[in-house]
Structure 1
Amino acid sequence: MTTKGAVYVAIAASMGNMLQGWDNATIAGAVLYIKKEFHLETQPTIEGLIVSMSLIGATVITTFSGSVSDAIGRRPMLIISSLFYFMSGLVMFWSPSVYVLLVARLLDGFGIGLAVTLVPLYISETAPSDIRGLLNTFPQFTGCVGMFLAYTMVFFMSLQSSASWRMMLGVLSLPSIAYFILAVFYLPESPRWLVSKGKMDEAKHVLQLLRGKEDVSGEMALLVEGLEVGGETSVEEYEINADNELSEDHVREKDEIKLYGAEEGQSWVAKPVRGQSSLVLASRQGSVAAHMMDPMVTLFGSVHEKQNEMGSMRSMIFPTFGSMFQGDQQQKPDNWDVESNHEKGNLSEDETDDNNLKSPLISPNARQPGETTSAMGIGGGWQLAYRKSEDGKNAGGLKRIYLHQETGAESRRGSVASLLVPGPVTGDGDVVRASALVSRSVLCLDGAMGQNPIQSGAIKPPPSSKTGTSWSDLAEPGIKQALIVGVGIQILQQFSGINGVLYYTPQILEQAGVGILLANMGIGSESASFLISGVTTLLMLPSIGVAMKLIDLAGRRMLLLATLPVLLASLIVLVLSNTIPMDSVVHAVISTVSVVVYFCTFVMGFGPIPNTLCSEIFPTRVRGLCIAICALTFWVGDIIVTYTLPVLLTTIGLAGAFGIYAVVCTISWFFVYFKVPETKGMPLEVITEFFAMGAANKKAN
């Protein structure tokens, strides 16, 4: 499977964050010249409003951006974001007065709010699960690139005798035109949103473009299942064998269960393993730490402990080995395409035999030559299968099963690839043990005619997709638990000290003698501050590159747990350097090193990961609304920290302010350890299923 389509789409969407970084840098430079032209030296309130009006605009538009994106789609909101950027740039370039400039800054905030809220959501809904974390670091990277380019531009403009702040701010319109063109002519709509609105053919076409292959039947089935978190989710464990029903000496055992894939001809025989699944056992460990830890965290963690050393990326590198159900496929007919027949009728239940389920639930038109990847694979080593439930004669008589292969002696050869190869199976044939997340499918079996009932049937969306998003949905235990994680990590990120360190950076670099050095080179103090900020931003880019490499290998949780202590240590050093008397040169060197370490570590973990997590942990039907709540928390926290920092500096000093931030970093580490699960490589629909089950287990315990 090629991922070029998803990568290019993520890069194009991340341009909205580049414009945010661009704006942050240009306003920092332009405000110095705005003060002079409008004589604002004695009006700090107006000066503060010019800078913060974009924060206010972002906060305002975030309050309803999520619900609107759930209603009209993700792509239209990104297009609207580019238009806000463009209009604000024009108005800022024209601004004849402070009040017109304030309106322009408000429009700019609207564009920023939509981009920051919806770009991570859009990337998560279009990216393959194996590289979703990597692609979600693009907004952080492009934001820093935008800041660096803008600081460079402002620096060279400041060297002129009459620098124009209107030009600095108005240039924003030029890259926003490119963003608009990409959003209109290149970015597709989110396939998950399309499925939620019943636009199955369009969703399939988008998936084919994003994945670079014709056969997307397994992922289409996954997206349909994601419309509703299954009821009465249970964890089971199976030993899976080839389906030898047609063999002459085959004798079906009493406890055998037939599993079916999304493709025609795919079926397996599974035997339940008696006793508790290892997933459940992992969530009920008896240590003191485990009792304090949210059961959901250990539930997620038990999955990743079982992954092979190569991790979920293995399926990207060696596609024929990465899936539990890959192997030689039986020849498929070229003309079957069920998902476009969703207006013809419902699924049949004419016969009660399991053979009725032999045909595909969602089927491709054709397979590309040489394509061997099974449609069962849904990413991260997970597979989607179905079985007929005990109440198969009633509507809703299908169970969906998310399978994840276990390792150990029970799994001979470690793969079910051989189970799909025709031929006799010996008594000690291949067996694969897999954990299974079993719940009610959104697909139904009811009243239509035909020899191949599922192939000729309709995919019925669940009732919740027709009623739309409701605030009452947020009361569901799984969603409530996810909101605690999302809102909590956004609050802690904002109060971890990033704004304080940004505020302090020019001061300590000046103390380090950088300003004097640049002055000897003929560079004024204003130009020097722009150059220093640009160099500081440039230093962040390699660190973001490290995060890109590790976020899908080490994982989100591990990156946070590893980087938060470094942030804490940097803040403690800054506190001590401002408390203990020392030589000015030593103080400057220690402070400079601490700030650089803080910045580089922040963009590796606490910078990109909160938005990445928030875009992953909510169900499709409420994802827009929930991520808007998390983004609103982000902006409110940003405003509070920005406006309280000067107060803290005047009351308790720099050491006191950084001491508070150090305490928040400590709290953040424990919050991540006990509350934040690892989501790397897992399909979004499996993540939300785990949240629902983890919340249910927590309530039961």
Structure 2
Amino acid sequence: MLGAVLVAIAASIGNLLQGWDNATIAGAVLYIKKEFQLQSEPTVEGLIVAMSLIGATIITTFSGPVSDWIGRRPMLILSSILYFLSSLIMLWSPNVYVLLLARLIDGFGIGLAVTLVPLYISETAPPEIRGLLNTLPQFSGSGGMFLSYCMVFGMSLLPSPDWRIMLGVLAIPSLFFFGLTIFYLPESPRWLVSKGRMAEAKKVLQKLRGKEDVSGELSLLVEGLEVGGDISIEEYIIGPATEAADDHVTDSDKEQITLYGPEEGQSWIARPSKGPSMLGSVLSLASRHGSMVNQSVPLMDPIVTLFGSVHENMPQAGGSMRSTLFPNFGSMFSVTDQHAKNEQWDEENLHRDDEEYASDGAGGDYEDNLHSPLLSRQTTSAEGKDIVHHGHRGSALSMRRQSLLGEGGEGVSSTDIGGGWQLAWKWSEKEGEDGKKEGGFKRVYLHQEGVPGSRRGSIISLPGGGDVPEGGEFVHAAALVSQSALFSKDLTEPRMSGAAMVHPSEVAAKGSSWKDLFEPGVRRALLVGVGIQILQQFAGINGVLYYTPQILEQAGVAILLSNLGLSSASASILISSLTTLLMLPSIGLAMRLMDLSGRRFLLLGTIPILIASLVILVVSNIIDLGTVAHAALSTVSVIIYFCCFVMGFGPIPNILCAEIFPTRVRGLCIAICALTFWIGDIIVTYSLPVMLNAIGLAGVFGIYAVVCLIAFVFVYLKVPETKGMPLEVITEFFAVGAKQAAAKA
């Protein structure tokens, strides 16, 4: 996990450069307009500052699709090169036109960093700390602003401040960022899996997680390539496959699933539950009393309720599914040989010692991409009806029985994927057009449900299986079941190793296309992503930033600084640096809470404070409270606004946008959201002076307060809680929720 943390810190340097540049140009422009005599040409002065916004908007239009094509890492490398190149041109800049060109190139680097760093961190971070790590860009950006303001302030004290050096210093950290992207940052494992480069993906995951066995997560990444389709929610009672339980297995128990544990002889059974489930009740599969308050809220998106049910229904005292079912949990994947080939995937002939890898008698050809199988070592019968384990010598998955299943039963292999979720596969059959039975795997995302204590211990009635003796440990789990992105070739051949010989299906490996954006789950996610980006921009941050120096001047800070012998330019820069410094502790607190309280909680907790701060600013500008009271109220309101904004509305929109889209279209969708961000930024920045002239400061802040109120309603009704959930499960939930919303329409 330390590897993922260090990689996230290194990647967030790209946002540090963005913050550095924003602060530097804000100070340097005071000296640029003097040298080029731009006091009478505010348009050119505005262009110097805004050209980076224009560049970021342009590059964002195609950054997402290109990153889906060539990878995340090459785009980050390009960002560092653009930063470095622009800083050298700004250092030279003989005239304003060259400076404008340099600012445009700088905007290209900013656009790539802002778009791709959150995406990259989300794809490399473990679910448990993904929110914390994805808050790093916000912290790095503000930290870069503070460091830059300190540098510019120090240079402003010189007899002849040189704005070219101010801007050119960016070359030093950008060169450092370039070195990190070239020599340290790995490619995103999810992108590598999407391109079939499994061997590389495995090595990257091992580096990020600090462990050798990453087969489970590798399987999850492959499954994430295909989202949607026919998805159902089922409920299971899962318990040990005791001999007593075996006595109750009947031929009619068609849906029984067997889970095999990590230790020799361990196995568990899963049978459909007749009892209520939180997830089931959300989708009207069952009725349940309890705390599902959200279901009674008009206009509440089913997706919000569905996500909320998971967090409301976490396991109570008694442990998680992992600790209950798998107390000695390890990888549920055996390391064995394979000899199936897929010419579209990496292929390497590796010679393995017979003592380490047992042979099924089909030569010594192995595929390194899958030498840690994505699924447990299993073999299908000629009819494809059973999955029976044929483990090699010393396998941790050797079983004392071949199967608990009758004809038509199901076998499954499972693994922990983080956030309290387990990933499993089950064998499913149906009749083909020719009347023959066709078999295939379905993936199952399992999540333990918090259930009354009476459902553990004592005697539990398992549907279809009779009573289970007292003293057994059983778990009530909800399951998201859908078509697997994995398949094996010629499953009916007796020598094929069914689930161990897996490859992405043709649909999953096809890559992204624009038509994927119209899938119900993706459309729903885009609504959330684009909506929250628009509302963030119109929530007033640019207006408050614009007004801050004036507020602090009214509070007497500028006078105090001038008494210390500082020039007006130096005082302005120092005030801005102090304002930025105030943000850092708040961002640090947000990093701590992001994975504990959650994204939705932080938004719903901070937006009302933003509204209150803006209302106070409106009132203080309408009512004559006296100079001292006005300055005090305004200063406190601005500080509170800044602190709450950087805890919620600052980092969370980018975090959510990096989490809610499927792997194959994640780059494309994030580019759309980022484009919305930059267009909104430009509109707000250039409309602010017009609005100030038309309706005054009170009117502007009043509009911002209304937008924040709309944002609160939008978050409450449409934005789900994604903390601690694997990205692949998040996207599956959007598909399920969209399907349910369509059914209700």
TM-score normalised over the length of structure 2? 0.85
Residue in 1 that maps onto 2:300: 293
1:485-496 to 2 correspondences below 5 Å: 485-496=528-539
1:429 equivalent among 454, 466, 472 = 472
Residue in 2 that maps onto 1:280: 280
2:175 equivalent among 171, 174, 177 = 177
1:152-167 to 2 correspondences below 5 Å: 152-167=150-165
Q: What amino acid does structure 2 have at the position aligned with 1:356?
A: I
- 1:224 paired with 2:222, answer yes
1:618 equivalent among 661, 666, 676 = 661
Task: Describe the superposition over 1:100-152 as per-residue Cα deviations: whole angstroms up to 9, x where unpaired.
Answer: 00010011000000000000000000000011000000000000100000000
Residue in 2 that maps onto 1:467: 510
Is residue 214–residue 364 contact of structure 1 (8 Å, CA) maintained in 2? no
- 1:557 paired with 2:603, answer no
Query: Is the partner of 1:96 in helix, strand or coil?
Result: coil
Residue in 1 that maps onto 2:357: none
Q: What amino acid does structure 1 have at the position aligned with 2:256?
A: I
1:513-524 to 2 correspondences below 5 Å: 513-524=556-567
Is residue 215–residue 365 contact of structure 1 (8 Å, CA) maintained in 2? no
Once the two structures are TM-superposed, the CA of residue 274 in structure 1 deviates from its matched residue by 2.2
- 1:632 paired with 2:675, answer yes
Task: Describe the superposition over 1:157-192 as per-residue Cα deviations: whole angstroms up to 9, x where unpaired.
Answer: 000110000000000010001101111111111111
1:142 equivalent among 140, 159, 162 = 140
- 1:118 paired with 2:161, answer no
Seen in structure 2, the aligned counterparts of structure 1 residues 641 and 326 have a Cα distance that, compared at 3 Å, is same
Q: What amino acid does structure 1 have at the position aligned with 2:100?
A: L
Q: What amino acid does structure 1 have at the position aligned with 2:281?
A: L
Q: What amino acid does structure 2 have at the position aligned with 1:391?
A: K
Task: Describe the superposition over 1:62-95 as per-residue Cα deviations: whole angstroms up to 9, x where unpaired.
Answer: 0000000000000100000000000000000000
Query: Is the partner of 2:112 in helix, strand or coil?
Result: helix
Q: Matched residues in 1 for 2:702 and 2:507: separation?
A: 47
Once the two structures are TM-superposed, the CA of residue 670 in structure 1 deviates from its matched residue by 0.2
Task: Describe the superposition over 1:389-433 as per-residue Cα deviations: whole angstroms up to 9, x where unpaired.
Answer: 13297666111110000112368669xxxxxxxxxx955522111
Once the two structures are TM-superposed, the CA of residue 335 in structure 1 deviates from its matched residue by 5.0
Residue in 1 that maps onto 2:420: 381
2:726 equivalent among 683, 689, 696 = 683
Query: Is the partner of 1:274 in helix, strand or coil?
Result: coil
- 1:588 paired with 2:631, answer yes
Q: Matched residues in 2 for 1:53 and 1:230: separation?
A: 41
1:492-511 to 2 correspondences below 5 Å: 492-511=535-554
Seen in structure 2, the aligned counterparts of structure 1 residues 512 and 160 have a Cα distance that, compared at 3 Å, is same
Residue in 2 that maps onto 1:390: 429
Residue in 2 that maps onto 1:476: 519
Residue in 2 that maps onto 1:356: 387
Q: Matched residues in 2 for 1:227 and 1:631: separation?
A: 23
Once the two structures are TM-superposed, the CA of residue 454 in structure 1 deviates from its matched residue by 2.9
Residue in 2 that maps onto 1:55: 53
1:261-410 to 2 correspondences below 5 Å: 267-274=267-274, 277-283=277-283, 289-308=296-315, 323=323, 325-328=325-328, 336=336, 349-352=380-383, 355-356=386-387, 358=389, 376-391=415-430, 397-409=440-452
Q: How many percent identity over aligned positions?
A: 63
1:569 equivalent among 612, 616, 623 = 612
Residue in 1 that maps onto 2:231: 233
Once the two structures are TM-superposed, the CA of residue 224 in structure 1 deviates from its matched residue by 0.7
Q: Matched residues in 2 for 1:166 and 1:532: separation?
A: 22
Q: Matched residues in 1 for 2:722 and 2:317: separation?
A: 16
1:454 equivalent among 495, 498, 502 = 498
Is residue 394–residue 445 contact of structure 1 (8 Å, CA) maintained in 2? no
Q: Matched residues in 2 for 1:299 and 1:357: separation?
A: 35
Seen in structure 2, the aligned counterparts of structure 1 residues 354 and 464 have a Cα distance that, compared at 3 Å, is closer
Is residue 240–residue 271 contact of structure 1 (8 Å, CA) maintained in 2? yes
Figure out how many residues of one structure are paired with residues of the other and give that number: 672
Q: What amino acid does structure 2 have at the position aligned with 1:681?
A: G
Is residue 131–residue 591 contact of structure 2 (8 Å, CA) maintained in 1? yes
Query: Is the partner of 1:652 in helix, strand or coil?
Result: helix
Q: What amino acid does structure 1 have at the position aligned with 2:540?
A: G
Query: Is the partner of 1:388 in helix, strand or coil?
Result: strand
Seen in structure 2, the aligned counterparts of structure 1 residues 15 and 286 have a Cα distance that, compared at 3 Å, is closer
Q: Matched residues in 1 for 2:317 and 2:3: separation?
A: 24
Residue in 1 that maps onto 2:127: 129
Once the two structures are TM-superposed, the CA of residue 322 in structure 1 deviates from its matched residue by 5.5
Is residue 22–residue 150 contact of structure 1 (8 Å, CA) maintained in 2? yes
Q: Which runs of 5+ in 2 are unaligned?
A: 285-291, 344-365, 371-377, 398-412, 458-467
TM-score normalised over the length of structure 1? 0.90
Once the two structures are TM-superposed, the CA of residue 49 in structure 1 deviates from its matched residue by 0.5
Q: Matched residues in 2 for 1:273 and 1:247: separation?
A: 15
Seen in structure 2, the aligned counterparts of structure 1 residues 690 and 330 have a Cα distance that, compared at 3 Å, is closer
Residue in 1 that maps onto 2:701: 658
Query: Is the partner of 1:237 in helix, strand or coil?
Result: strand
Task: Describe the superposition over 1:278-325 as per-residue Cα deviations: whole angstroms up to 9, x where unpaired.
Answer: 2131355697853310111101100000124799xx99xxxxx86554
Seen in structure 2, the aligned counterparts of structure 1 residues 593 and 558 have a Cα distance that, compared at 3 Å, is same
Query: Is the partner of 1:292 in helix, strand or coil?
Result: coil
Q: Matched residues in 1 for 2:588 and 2:385: separation?
A: 50
Task: Describe the superposition over 1:206-239 as per-residue Cα deviations: whole angstroms up to 9, x where unpaired.
Answer: 1111111111111111111100014211111100
Seen in structure 2, the aligned counterparts of structure 1 residues 289 and 427 have a Cα distance that, compared at 3 Å, is closer
Residue in 2 that maps onto 1:11: 9
Instruction: Pick the structure with greater CA Rg.
Output: 2
Q: Matched residues in 1 for 2:105 and 2:37: separation?
A: 24
Seen in structure 2, the aligned counterparts of structure 1 residues 246 and 289 have a Cα distance that, compared at 3 Å, is closer
Once the two structures are TM-superposed, the CA of residue 443 in structure 1 deviates from its matched residue by 1.6
Residue in 2 that maps onto 1:98: 96
Q: Pick which of 673-682 and 322-331 moved more.
A: 322-331
Query: Is the partner of 1:187 in helix, strand or coil?
Result: coil
Seen in structure 2, the aligned counterparts of structure 1 residues 529 and 135 have a Cα distance that, compared at 3 Å, is same
Is residue 219–residue 375 contact of structure 1 (8 Å, CA) maintained in 2? no
Once the two structures are TM-superposed, the CA of residue 46 in structure 1 deviates from its matched residue by 0.6
Q: Pick which of 267-276 and 174-183 moved more.
A: 267-276
Seen in structure 2, the aligned counterparts of structure 1 residues 310 and 131 have a Cα distance that, compared at 3 Å, is farther
Seen in structure 2, the aligned counterparts of structure 1 residues 593 and 204 have a Cα distance that, compared at 3 Å, is same
- 1:444 paired with 2:502, answer no
Residue in 2 that maps onto 1:371: none
Query: Is the partner of 2:387 in helix, strand or coil?
Result: helix
